[in-house]
Structure 1
């Protein structure tokens, strides 16, 4: 029966197992280690001959429930929860790359993912080529005999490019590659990459999955074979282990994911329309707008366009900073998927690991801003944006007046 439940129902019920006390809410197993009945049992669990918990770095009942739930939601055989989104990204890559291998990735990704790929992986002798994943010929042209993995985000952080997952999966299968997709912006309720043929899905669970801005965590979803390597080789030895309390908080947050996403998407659509019509906004990047290049994938690959918007101001960097500083309701902070609406300046914040030339190549300008639209009344969000945009007009008027006075 559970397999027939809708995803909204699964966010609440999937993975939950009845406990001996009959508690409705899953117990938090805040324990580092587990006691064996005898020495023989301890040896059997370490060898894998007997199932059971040994040490929380190798597994924990609370974490296991989160992993079962995420596997159901993403439609994967298994899942592994980790201490951060970057632990998830790095584990998925390290499980499938070794010295001498080659990775092809989209040229715009989260700043720390970019830093990992272009900086840290080079220390292990792993080559990386960055290309536009909307250009399928460019992807194929970048593939070498040593290539092992294709990696992308969709929508892309920060400018919301959308990639065709079925096409990327087809390329990966044609060349016998592993495909990895960061699904953080969408969550499995809006997009399920595995159903389009993608091999591995990663999440920063810090964002929408938790939804309350009080947890740092990540999740990887894939086949049991992939999860065995990631959990018992990469995670065990590198140690990016999620705490049981954080896993418990994400389980709690997931129960409201469906209703939160509906509000995030509703609000984002209205905010995007407001920004699109404002004369001081030169461009809005949001798949929900009908002129966006990826709009055709909304309603097919993506259930809705999500809650994140990027936009360019028709203003100088100084004026853009003035605009951000004049916001009162909207918080200046990185991250996304929280109840609060957040704004950040990618070039100087999340994507600061990029050089000036790399930012230009990735399409990240100095006037680009990214908003994670929250759960507040959308009228209040728009009013805050409107009054801050008015400050740019005021600034320009004052500057013109000052120039004219100087000339006189």
Structure 2
């Protein structure tokens, strides 16, 4: 039987299952999801208070304080002592988990909350998505790609950037403080079909999902402890997107207020009366509105099937991975899916468990084929 193990590092303090015979770590709960600013890790520790200093140590400390001639007086930052090492807000917390020969870093975050009780100490660390959700800026980007915009916004929020797709170039994109930076990035992601999340190193990631084969294969009654899925009809079945300031004889730099014919900046995918109609002033070309319409249609198609499963601890499963479920007794529970949320729980009572939420995948690709057919038809009839 596989043995679960862990390593937790905060500042210069580190504890692992190899050197924790007294169970200093009581519980670890690590949760992360697409665009989720509440993604965090929570650890419960049993910390034995340090012995009180003797009279001699107290006298030496008092004398040292009295001899301090510095005029600068600053309020000390809050911290707690773990094995004689200070742990304070904004320290980096690193979580590594293993089960048998499978091991990986599962989260890097920043200490946000410290709670002390007579029984335990609770530390909560949050990801860069929380930082982005607390940051607001005013800026206007001209002729910048999505990657350039993301890099600049992340720099202003003091967030590290990981893998970001280049994306479209926007002639003009205003960013206002009425919306958080995370809200702006989420909206950009919707236009481009990018997932917005942080990787295990706490770096902002924005990229399109394009996997057609599984990163992990999960077998019923071997890996999977529980499994459920929800299926519903697609809503909407038709998406229409209209942009502004269409490309004309003046190109994408034209700024007309009123458009006589919106066909040059109109994208449409699907058919039926369940319609989602959108207008977006940042979209100023046919390619841009087609892309947005395709991504909205694909997203609606993907969430028609959503599920969750509970597994024996697997630290290798990450956001954006493709999982394939096999050998479930009901055929509708099997298939290839996209991981949208991962939660790892390690405790004395539950052991090491991994909870995964997932959705269908491939909706944008099917929308692309529909959009292509519509485009060919439009060209044939002279639109």
- Which structure shows the higher helix fraction? 1
**TM-score normalized by the length of structure 1:** 0.27
- Which structure shows the higher strand fraction? 2
